[in-house]
Amino acid sequence: MSNSNETDTFGVDLESGIAAFDSKNFSMAYQLLAPLAAQGNAESLWRLGMMQMNGLGMVENQPLAFENFMKAASQDHVFAHHMIGVAYMTGEGVDKDTDKAIEWFEKAAEFKIPGPMYALGMLYEDGKDVEQDLEKAQQWFDRASEVNTP
């Protein structure tokens, strides 16, 4: 049984960590979020992954970032799904795999966020790594603009 003091500290650290991340104070964000990520907190795992993927306040570690995105996604973290799609699309931290990228973007799209919908639209429009399908591309662009308009 954990006492409420621990829970309060957890909440304060998470809020402070997110604030530090948002104000680009990445070393402070890391100090606050890393222990929470180690305890499996999805938001902390995702933000840690973002810092590791992009070398924010630390040396890039894309494979570790990918692992953290996977852990966050296993808890249904919306943006983690999107970032796994990005990683598979670009081959950052994991072997490039367009089919898996599409799979993860489709999962992320179910959360009704526009990012993965635009990504899918662009993949089908480009037709470089997947067979070009302008109709499918347009459907994804339309869905993205629908969720984007309040």
pLDDT of residue 2: 45
Taking the mean position of all CA atoms in its chain, how far away is CA 52? Answer: 12
Residues 6 or more apart from 145 whose CB is under 8 A from it? 114
Which of 103, 131, 125, 105 lies closest to 117 in space, CA to CA? 105
Taking the mean position of all CA atoms in its chain, how far away is CA 45? Answer: 9
Torsion of Cα atoms, 50 then 56 then 59 then 65, to 10°:
0
pLDDT of residue 148: 77
Please tell me the distance from the alpha carbon of residue 120 to that of residue 44, in angstroms, as a whole number: 27
Please tell me the distance from the alpha carbon of residue 97 to that of residue 47, in angstroms, as a whole number: 23
pLDDT tens, the chain, 150 aa long: 444 566 778 888 999 999 999 999 999 999 999 999 999 999 999 999 999 999 999 999 999 999 999 999 999 999 999 999 999 999 999 999 999 999 999 999 999 999 999 999 999 999 999 999 999 999 999 999 999 776
